[in-house]
Each structure stands twice: as structure tokens, then as C-alpha cells.
Structure 1
């Protein structure tokens, strides 16, 4: 289905927990639809789909989550005849999030929630399209790839051109458009709850990460290893930066430059199981403020999925 301007776009997740070593998934019951489905909701104006998924899960269920790897889309025609496309991710509800949410209270969208063993969840769902999304998640569980951490490769936002800047290249500032881009992408990247923000020493990269740093309360670490100047001098250390992040296995963001991105993604791909077989040309050919999210399994270090996003609007 082609996404036209009249298409309703929504986002949600297969929320899951490990209980006694077994996977349980979260199903919601909606009285006004008389169905059992996965948590999801429509994209608000100015929102990205990852941002929507996190917001809707909290509004419908009370759980605060960060996203895992994407599970594709469900596409169908609504009763009124409009097309609808729903973007899904996996999203683990941690013990802390589960405890913080407390007892579920019915709301205007959801009458009840249920945590169901994965093996029983498919039969409980009303719609086959939801069951197909669940099947993709079940395949991840079978492969030991349900739990992932995100490595985000971000190109800096729109910057003053060299022809219009008299200072050094590293000091070129963001344009007003670039500052707006940096603000719009921050909530989208925050959906993966990055714990490390790593930037080239260039002013344009540092400025691109400022809104994300403010939103997540994570400081920015500068490194010349991701700078364009060091890359062009063959004095960069992309290999070392990637190796450290893969060893730590926590969500991280790398903000760098167009010439550095292909090498950054190549190093992540070749350092993970299965990644060397992927074609990452589109994922590394990013426009200003676009970012690619590479999802690596916590167990086994396999590259599970790759997705690319950009500024909204």
C-alpha cells in the first residue's frame, strides 16, 4: 500500500516481559471496538512514528518503554474506506517500568490489559494482521534476538555552507533550519533511550545533539575520532569507537559527517553477526539530520534490523 496524504498513520509495539525466563506479551481490550489487539495509536501532527509508539503505549497502558527493533507494518483499509498503516516495534517492559505503572486503570481507549504467554497470545488476538506482527516477534524470540540495543548513526543537521563561512570548517554553525531539524529529531531518537551521546568535535555535530541531550539528560562526549578532519587525515578511530560501544551493549548515538558515515556503518555491520551480508548503502547515505538505527541483539551480538528516519515535516 502506498502511503498517500489521506492514509492514517499509526504506531505501536509488541510489549513484552520475561517472567520466570518465559516471554509474556501485552494485549489490550477495547470495549468500543470489542476487540483484543496490540497497543498502538495515531500519529499526532509533528510527531515521528517512534515518538508516537512510545507515547501511545504509555497513554493506553501506563507503561513507559523504550523501543527495540522494528517489526514491520500492518496495512489495511478502515471501515470508512481510508487506508491505514501501523508501524510496530518490539518494546520490553522492564521490571522497573512494570512496578512504576502500578495497577492498571481503565481509560477512554483501553478497558483492560492482559499479560499472556507468547504461545497463547496469537489465538487471543482479534485481527490476523496483529497476529502476523506477533509472529515476527515470536521468530525473534526463537532466535534469541528479542532483546536488542540501538546504535544510532546521525548526520549533523543543516549547516552554513563553506562558501558563506570565513572560519575553520569545524566551527561552521547550524542554520536556523538545522536548529529546527535538531529539535524535531530529538524526541524520535529518544524513543530508544540512548545512554551515550558521542559527537564529532565539530560545532555542527555538537549543536545537533544539544536538544537530544537536554531531553534525555545525557551529556555529550566529544571525540576527534568521528570528525571529518581526522577522517580525511586518516587519523580517525572509528574502529575503536564502534568496538567500545558494542562491548558496552547499551543504546548510543554517534553524530558525525557524511564522509564518515559509510565507514561507521561498515564497522558496525562487520563487527556483528550477519551484518556483513547487509546492503547499507541507503542507510549510510543520509541527508542532514537523518539517522540510521542499527539494532544489535544483547545475546549473541547479531545485527537484527536496520531502519532510517529523518526530521518530521
Structure 2
């Protein structure tokens, strides 16, 4: 089982139990270790995971559950295979979907939840023997395959289309200062925990109000500054498209978790350029397909990148639609 090169929003029915979690991993010399948790109520060992709270995104839930069950702050990495099974007793059982990611520890947190009484870091082979459920082995297999292929140690580049705005027909001022509308402001607030889940450290945006305002709540929350680029605006791109490539090259050269916010007419070029920086046919196809219809307003595409500069290669892609 390999890690999915492309992960799209998970389609689920209203009656489906939605949950998210992560496989924390670390290197110990040449050995890879993973963290598993013990739940005394069920007397089982499994991955840290849990149900989504109302209005919570999959990514937000994954890092929250990891913190609650391990006491560790995590940064999400590449997506891993879904787990689908049925839960509930007595009958009728309900379907359950768990979205998993690979993840690395960025800081220690605090006490763990009462439903967990032990956290263990184990070598992969021992973790496999300790896990109670066979379905949990799918994620471990994918993690190990990603490690063997060099895709595990990557960093995220979040490409974002600005959130919903006041319509052009209703705005009397200059277009570059046209603001977000109320749904757009709500979406900008919703993006804060999504960007935090990937521990975004660099924010690059079109110098228009609507793009800057989409990232501003996260910038305030994380204590980061917005780097406005005219080359990412519609007007700047139309005047000189080559400057867009230079802005993207700078992001790839830094090689740190980053977010780039721009406009619908600019996004296809960004995504097609990223498609040229992958060795995976599936990733290239997903990026080019995303460039066609484009992202909806406020949507996030996460390109997981291995390496930096000229060596940067996109190893996986996922999309986070509006919720």
C-alpha cells in the first residue's frame, strides 16, 4: 500500500461518522519510529485519532486529536490512505471514515486525554505487531513506502484562491481594494486552523485587499507578516507573467511551510508550473486538472514538496474545499 499521491475532499453521507488522525514519525539513525496510543476502555493500541467537532475541518481535527491523545503538537505531512469501517452497537452500525496524514512533532504540548493511558514510540516492525486492528496497517504500509521513495520528509506549499468578495458590480472603488464579503471573512477565519495544521511560516499574497484579507487572520494568529507581491495580482500577471515564476521560485528556494494566495486567472499558471516539478504522473495530472476548472473561492490546494530550489519536487497533492 502506497501513500495516495492525490487526496481530494472526502465525500461522505450525512450519517457517516467523520474522524481524523495522524501517524507521528521520527528517525532514529536509520530506523523509523512511529507513535501509537493505548486506550484502556478498549484495551487496544492504535493511531491517535478522533471525531471531528461541529464545523471542524479534517486537518484541524487531526492535529487537535494528536495533541489531546499524545500531548504533542504536530505538523501534517503527506496524506495517507483513508480507513473506512462500520461502528456502533447494537445494530444498526454506522459507516465511519478516518482521514490520516503522516506528521512530525514540532513541540511538546501537555497532559494527554483520559481515554489514553500510554503513548509509545516503536520501530515500525514492532508497531505493526502491537496494533490491534489490521486496517491500521494500511497507513503504516503507506508511510513506509513513502519513506522508501523519499516522499516522507517533505514540506507543504498551500496554494489558495482568495475568499468570496463584494461583487465587482456593487463596488464603486478601485478593484485592488475591493474587500471580502461576510462569507469571505468567515472563510478567512476558517482557514486559520487549516494553515496552522501545516505550520505555515511564510505568507505570500497578491497585493490586492481580497487576497491579503484572506490570509490576514492567520498572519495575526501566527505572528507572521504578509509579503504582498504585485506579480501575483491579476494586473501584475497580465503585465508581466514571468515575474510570477520568479515569485514561485523564491518560495521553492526557501523550502519551508508556506502559503500563496492569488486569483482565479493566475492560478492555472501556478499549478501548471508546479506540475512541471514532479516525477509523479498522478501528481502532474492532478495539478493540471486543478488548473482547468480552477479552485473555488477560499479553497486550498496543498502541494507537498521534497527538497528546495532547483531540486524541489512535488510528491503529493491534496485539496481542502470550503466546508
Q: So what's the TM-score if we normalise by structure 1? A: 0.92
- Once the two structures are superposed, residues 1-33 of structure 1 have per-residue CA deviations (whole angstroms, 9 ceiling, x without a partner) of 961111000000010111224210001111111
1:245 is aligned to: 251
Q: Distance in 2 between matches of 1:54 and 1:240?
A: 33
The equivalences for 1:46-85 within 5 A come to 46-80=55-89, 81-85=93-97
Deviation of 1:272 after TM superposition, in Å, equals: 3.7
Which SS does the other structure have where 1:213 is aligned?
A: helix
Deviation of 1:302 after TM superposition, in Å, equals: 2.9
CA contact 2:278–2:315 (8 Å) conserved in 1 = no
Deviation of 1:232 after TM superposition, in Å, equals: 2.1
How many pairs are equivalent? 306
Residue ranges of structure 2 left out of the alignment (5+ in a row): 1-9
Q: Distance in 1 between matches of 2:290 and 2:140?
A: 26
- Once the two structures are superposed, residues 170-219 of structure 1 have per-residue CA deviations (whole angstroms, 9 ceiling, x without a partner) of 11111111111111122112110111000101110011111111122211
Q: Distance in 2 between matches of 1:304 and 1:123?
A: 29
CA contact 2:274–2:287 (8 Å) conserved in 1 = no
Root-mean-square deviation over aligned CA pairs: 1.9
Q: Structure 1 residues 288 and 2, CA, compared in 2 at 3 Å: closer, same or farther? A: closer
Moved over 4 A (4+): none
CA contact 2:67–2:109 (8 Å) conserved in 1 = no
Deviation of 1:152 after TM superposition, in Å, equals: 0.6
Q: So what's the TM-score if we normalise by structure 2? A: 0.90
1:309 is aligned to: 320
Q: Structure 1 residues 283 and 72, CA, compared in 2 at 3 Å: closer, same or farther? A: farther
- Once the two structures are superposed, residues 75-132 of structure 1 have per-residue CA deviations (whole angstroms, 9 ceiling, x without a partner) of 00113301100000000125xx2xx458xx6641211111111232222211111101
Of residues 166, 179, 185, the one that matches 2:191 is: 185
Deviation of 1:229 after TM superposition, in Å, equals: 0.7
- Once the two structures are superposed, residues 22-76 of structure 1 have per-residue CA deviations (whole angstroms, 9 ceiling, x without a partner) of 2100011111111110000110011101000011100100001111111131000
1:222 is aligned to: 228
Structure 1 position 278 matched with structure 2 position 289:
no
Q: Structure 1 residues 8 and 204, CA, compared in 2 at 3 Å: closer, same or farther? A: same
Deviation of 1:236 after TM superposition, in Å, equals: 5.2
Residue ranges of structure 1 left out of the alignment (5+ in a row): none
Q: Structure 1 residues 58 and 109, CA, compared in 2 at 3 Å: closer, same or farther? A: same
